A = this chain, B = another copy of it.
């Protein structure tokens, strides 16, 4: 895939935008860390410190729509809902860690560049 082509670049941008939103990546990562790569709503809310119910819900719905997570409802009282990383979701971890490694390695350089830039105005 070449990044430069208009149609494909649209797809790339669209998905980058999604992955770049405030919580999506962290959601996938946290789910990957969970035992069995499964967790329920309230567990995820604790893991994603600071996220609101509303935003966690929409983030989960988006991830479900894209096929990254699967939602399973248990007919119990009190209700229980579990979210699980799908095969597709797991396959995202590779590129994700790749990018995270790049960021980790180059973060000092970026931070230094910012400081230089900000000092000059």
Q: What is the total number of residues of chain A having a CB less than 8 Å from a CB of chain B?
A: 51
CB distance B110 to A88 under 8 Å?
yes
A56 / chain B contacts, CB cutoff of 8 Å: none
User: A17-B21, A118-B65 given as contacts; is B100 within 8 A of A1 (CB)?
Assistant: yes
- Copies per complex? 2
A19 to chain B, nearest CB (A): 6
User: Which residues of A65-86 have CB atoms within 8 Å of chain B's CB atoms?
Assistant: 65-67
Closest to A48 in B: B9
Verify if A114 is at the interface (C-beta below 8 Å from B).
yes
CB distance B15 to A65 under 8 Å?
no
A67 / chain B contacts, CB cutoff of 8 Å: 109-110, 112-114, 117
- Hey, what's the 0/1 contact readout for A27-51 against B, CB within 8 Å counting as 1? 0011001000000000000000100
Docked pose: A21 CA to B103 CA in angstroms: 17
9 chain-A/chain-B pairs, Cβ below 8 angstroms: A1-B100, A1-B104, A1-B105, A13-B25, A16-B20, A17-B20, A65-B117, A67-B113, A95-B95
The 5 closest A-B pairs by CB, nearest first: A20-B20, A67-B113, A1-B104, A65-B117, A3-B29
